[in-house]
Amino acid sequence: VREMKDRILKMVESVLNTCLPWVTEKDGAVQFVDPLDNEEISAHYGATHMSAALIIYGTLTDNNSLVKKGEDLLLSVLDRWNENKELEGFHNDFNNFALCVIERFTDKYHEKIKNAVMETRDTLFDTVNWLPMRWFVNKCRYEWTNDQAYLDVCRSCSEKINQATYSDGFI
């Protein structure tokens, strides 16, 4: 078990060392910049997921510089959220999911995160691997508001996931 944990930590550190230089200040904003195109793919979910990774891993390893870098990226993402969520390739479920995960790992920015998630609709596609993210986001929305409509979305997501799942657990 220890050997496996060490191997996983080495992989995490390797990925982290590769990706950290991609978090940079550009055009007055902290961005997660694609190293090939040298620009942020604002509609995608790389920035929210990188922010989540830095905050979570930094928190678990007591590395405040990683947490700070993740928070800086998060704030930059949230500052540009309303314009980015209108872009054609914006991945609503993926981005909302990352924000909901971050919200559980930090004592900061709860209202900004909640506002972004509450103002961003779910994706309209019932892609099976997206439904668990949508379920989690709507569970968070329900916890924040006690609005039964969000539990109804959770129930619908669960039903669709169950219908797509074979008896052996595969989808």
pTM of the predicted model, to two decimals? Answer: 0.93
Of 42, 10, 46, 8, residue with least CA distance to 27? 42
pLDDT per position in the chain (171 positions), as tens? 899 999 999 999 999 999 999 999 988 899 999 999 998 887 789 999 999 999 999 999 999 999 999 999 999 999 999 999 999 889 999 999 999 999 999 888 999 999 999 999 999 889 999 999 999 999 999 999 999 999 999 999 999 999 999 999 898
Which residues fall within 8 angstroms of residue 72, CB to CB, at 6 or more apart? Answer: 30
